[in-house]
Amino acid sequence: MSTFLPHFPATFIVTGDPLIYGAEVSIVLATVGILFVLTYFKKWRWLWREWLTTVDHKKISVMYLIAALLMFFRGGVDAMLMRTQLIRPNMSFLQAEHYNQIFTTHGTIMILFMAMPFIFAMFNIAVPLQIGARDVAFPYLNAVSFWLFFFAALLFNLSFVVGGSPDAGWVSYPPLAGLEFDRGPGENFYLLSLQITGIGSIATGINFMATILKMRAPGMTLMRMPLFSWSVLASSILIIFAFPALTVALALLLIDRLAGAHFFTMFQGGNPMMYINLFWIWGHPEVYIVILPAFGIFSEVVSTFSGKRIFGYSSMVASLMTISVISYVLWVHHFFTMGAGPGVNSFFAVATMCVGIPTGVKVFNWLFTMYRGRIRLTVPMLWAIAFIPIFAIGGATGVMLAAAPADYQYHNSFFLIAHFHQVLIGGTVFGMLAGMYYWWPKMFGYMLNERLGRWAFWLFNSGFYVTFFPQYLLGLMGMTRRMYTYPANMGWNTLNFISTMGAYVMGIGFIVLVMDVVYSIRFGERDVTGDPWNGRTLEWSLPSPAPHYNFARIPTVTSRDAWWTSKQERSRSDAPRKLEPLQPIHMPKSSGRPFIMSAIFFIGGFGLVFNWYALGFLALLGVLVSMLLRSLEYDTDYYVPVEEIEQTEAALGRA
């Protein structure tokens, strides 16, 4: 029965590296500090009632945003460490093993714990407000999604100090990630935390698909829906159909590792290549899951700050939908070199090149929207404009990579690294930062400072070019990815030095961004109108931040850009608008169960990481009990009485 008793591996608490000691000390200090502040200012109740138990999409959005920025910081520090190690040949700043861990956590965190929560922050703040809904379709499930993500991120980051970080790359291919080559618990941390956050993501996909299809305000037909909401629909469809493949791949690898099965081992009939296939069935759609919402944000931002309707709305919708279907049949381009044969490779190469067409349509539409528009160069608009050239180049190098025979040269070189950072940073990160600046007043009731925002933008944007353009050349000169150091006589020294300098500039840009946030919390200009940008869509018709029920009266939509139209109508006639009488509003109740259930998930995940099956099964039981309790719960909602709505609206200065 020894496997059922907790057995502590020798390296339970990671030791031996000054960086890690530093992290351990700062984690302890930060935790003590947070506990002290909460207790001293008597904030525990507030924290529990207002945040940990909330099912309000606007608060969930705020929590996603904070988490995404924190994870952006952690992933960014990883990046700085890697670039520092590569600044000169034969550096010994990081050891090989440590370098492996860092590129693994960097990639995993940036995709799953930075990009995903960042897009979910944007989903949550904008979609219900844009389509005239009072919350998402399943508010309770929304909270479950958030807390699953949160505890999964905690579990993943814990591996840094407890047990050791994963080190088989963010793709975690067996056999390297299998038991034969990787005994440590790090890989289990990877598998379990991704599994947990994946459940949350699938639930979010379902939630937003249902919200968009079922909860639009009267009159808002699909073809009147703002483009951001369309992009969320496209992204949600991909989430629903792609994430299960990841779930399966991770589960089978976990069974291999924990139970000694042979799905992906080299012997006993296993086939590691099947993991690669399954991983990318999720992995390629995943990059579109995070880019499509960015496309949506650019559409909103470009049209708002050009003072024009978006050019070619229907073609924008059509290309979003086409991309989400095509991007599902491209996955082999990540492993052309596996050698599935010319038939397979040609098919997927051609399909990959096809995805450039709808993307091109979108780029032209943004350009035509700006053409002859009255452009206001606000910070969101700067990010949107800067995105276009970067993405054009990223797409072009993508098409180069998609030429299967040529990819045998480019594959896993720094050329590939440069390509995907170009599209992920220039696309997703720029998009999310544009969205953050754009919707910040709606989330918090004040604006971010434009001056600091411009500084952050210019540093980050120019640092970006300096970092990644040399990497294309390095790739062509033969430098492969994931090498922890290189000899001095390869001719790579200068380019690597330049690239590292660029990375530092981007790092400074990020610091300025954080300064902007901190500065604006204190000095940010209040948004008293609720419509600081002269916006076009319904979220700007509400006060900032919106009351918890969003709309006192659900609006009736008669056109695209609904808020713009109603502003025009109002300026044309001075006849007082007649308002329908208020009615009680049906709202969901807060619940602590999503938090508790996800915490139990965390405990169970932690147990399985160390093969403590008893703890794992106990936690599974806990999860089942929580779900059962929820199923038997009937007191889940209430009505906001009319007087309370009147008071709230009056306090917000609305009739």
Residues that bind other proteins (CB under 8 A): 133-140, 213, 215, 218, 237, 241, 245, 271, 273-274, 277-278, 281, 325, 328-329, 331-332, 339-344, 554, 583, 585-588, 634, 636-637
User: Which residue number, 68 or 215, has a Cβ lying nearer to other proteins?
Assistant: 215
Residue that is written with structure tokens 């700067």 in the block: 382
The C-alpha atoms of residue 34 and residue 30 are separated, in whole angstroms, by 6
Angle subtended by helix axes 379-402 and 414-423, to nearest 10: 140
**Residue 398 binding ligand HEM, by CB under 6 A:** yes
**Residue 420 binding ligand HEM, by CB under 6 A:** yes
Query: What is the smallest separation between the CB atom of 356 and ligand HEM, expressed in angstroms?
Result: 4
Residues 270-299 contacting ligand HEM, CB under 6 A: 287, 290-291
Type and span of the H or E element at 444: helix 430-444
Nearest residue to the partner Cu ion, using Cβ: 284
Query: What is the smallest separation between the CB atom of 218 and other proteins, expressed in angstroms?
Result: 6
**Residue 424 binding ligand HEM, by CB under 6 A:** yes
Is the CB of residue 153 less than 8 Å from the CB of residue 113? yes
- Write the secondary structure of 521-546 as one string of H (helix), E (strand) and C (coil): HHHCCECCCCCCCCCCCHHHHCCCCC
Is the CB of residue 172 less than 8 Å from the CB of residue 280? no
Q: Using omega within 30 degrees of 0 as the cis cutoff, is the peptide bond preceding 175 cis?
A: yes
- Specify the 3-state DSSP secondary structure of 585: strand
The C-alpha atoms of residue 438 and residue 294 are separated, in whole angstroms, by 12
Helices (H), 159-271: 186-214, 227-259
Retrieve residue 457's tokens: 């933008």
Q: Which does 424 bind (CB under 5 to 8 A by kind): ligand HEM, Cu ion, other proteins, none?
A: ligand HEM
Retrieve residue 134's tokens: 């009072």
Nearest residue to the partner ligand HEM, using Cβ: 398
One of 74, 106, 284, 560 touching Cu ion (CB under 5 A):
284
Using alpha carbons only, how large is the chain's radius of gyration in Å? 25
Q: Which does 583 bind (CB under 5 to 8 A by kind): Cu ion, other proteins, ligand HEM, none?
A: other proteins
The C-alpha atoms of residue 174 and residue 480 are separated, in whole angstroms, by 20
The C-alpha atoms of residue 165 and residue 156 are separated, in whole angstroms, by 8
Q: Which stretch binds Cu ion (CB under 5 A): 282-290, 310-318, 594-602, 638-646?
A: 282-290
User: Which residue number, 418 or 513, has a Cβ lying nearer to ligand HEM?
Assistant: 418
Q: What is the full DSSP assignment across 237-264?
A: HHHHHHHHHHHHHHHHHHHHHHH---SS
Query: What is the smallest separation between the CB atom of 517 and ligand HEM, expressed in angstroms?
Result: 24
Residue that is written with structure tokens 């919390």 in the block: 521
Angle at 96 between CA 90 and CA 100, to 5 degrees: 130
User: Which residue number, 284 or 421, has a Cβ lying nearer to Cu ion?
Assistant: 284
Query: What is the smallest separation between the CB atom of 277 and other proteins, expressed in angstroms?
Result: 6
Encoded one letter per residue, x for contact with ligand HEM by CB under 6 A and - for no contact, window 171-190 reads x-------------------
Query: What is the smallest separation between the CB atom of 114 and ligand HEM, expressed in angstroms?
Result: 13
Task: Count how many residues are written for the chain.
Answer: 655
The C-alpha atoms of residue 137 and residue 128 are separated, in whole angstroms, by 9
User: Which residue number, 27 or 248, has a Cβ lying nearer to other proteins?
Assistant: 248
User: Which residue number, 58 or 334, has a Cβ lying nearer to ligand HEM?
Assistant: 334
Q: Using omega within 30 degrees of 0 as the cis cutoff, is the peptide bond preceding 545 cis?
A: yes
Q: Which does 245 bind (CB under 5 to 8 A by kind): ligand HEM, Cu ion, other proteins, none?
A: other proteins
**Residue 401 binding ligand HEM, by CB under 6 A:** yes
Q: Which does 67 bind (CB under 5 to 8 A by kind): Cu ion, ligand HEM, other proteins, none?
A: none
Q: Which does 241 bind (CB under 5 to 8 A by kind): other proteins, ligand HEM, Cu ion, none?
A: other proteins
Residues 217-246 contacting ligand HEM, CB under 6 A: none
User: Which residue number, 428 or 541, has a Cβ lying nearer to ligand HEM?
Assistant: 428
Output the CA–CA distances (angstroms, integers) from residue 152 to 113, 138, 250, 488, 592, in the order listed.
Answer: 9, 21, 14, 41, 18
Query: What is the smallest separation between the CB atom of 272 and ligand HEM, expressed in angstroms?
Result: 16
Q: Which stretch binds ligand HEM (CB under 6 A): 58-66, 248-256, 423-431, 543-551?
A: 423-431
User: Which residue number, 209 or 424, has a Cβ lying nearer to other proteins?
Assistant: 209
User: Which residue number, 348 or 551, has a Cβ lying nearer to Cu ion?
Assistant: 348
Query: What is the smallest separation between the CB atom of 279 and ligand HEM, expressed in angstroms?
Result: 10
* Beta strand spans in 417-533 (E): none
The C-alpha atoms of residue 140 and residue 633 are separated, in whole angstroms, by 12
Type and span of the H or E element at 9: none
Query: What is the smallest separation between the CB atom of 638 and ligand HEM, expressed in angstroms?
Result: 42
Query: What is the smallest separation between the CB atom of 376 and other proteins, expressed in angstroms?
Result: 35
User: Which residue number, 284 or 442, has a Cβ lying nearer to Cu ion?
Assistant: 284
End-to-end CA distance of the chain: 69
The C-alpha atoms of residue 592 and residue 52 are separated, in whole angstroms, by 7
Q: Which stretch binds ligand HEM (CB under 6 A): 27-35, 87-95, 407-415, 439-447?
A: 407-415
Q: Which stretch binds Cu ion (CB under 5 A): 143-151, 244-252, 278-286, 572-580?
A: 278-286
**Residue 155 binding ligand HEM, by CB under 6 A:** no
Is the CB of residue 418 less than 8 Å from the CB of residue 363? no
Residues 351-390 contacting ligand HEM, CB under 6 A: 352, 355-356, 359
Helices (H), 260-341: 272-306, 313-326
**Residue 423 binding ligand HEM, by CB under 6 A:** yes
**Partners of 526 in the β-ladder:** 446
Give the binding-site size for ligand HEM (rule: CB under 6 A): 25
Residues that bind ligand HEM (CB under 6 A): 171, 287, 290-291, 333-334, 352, 355-356, 359, 395, 398-399, 401-402, 407, 410-411, 416, 419-420, 423-424, 427-428
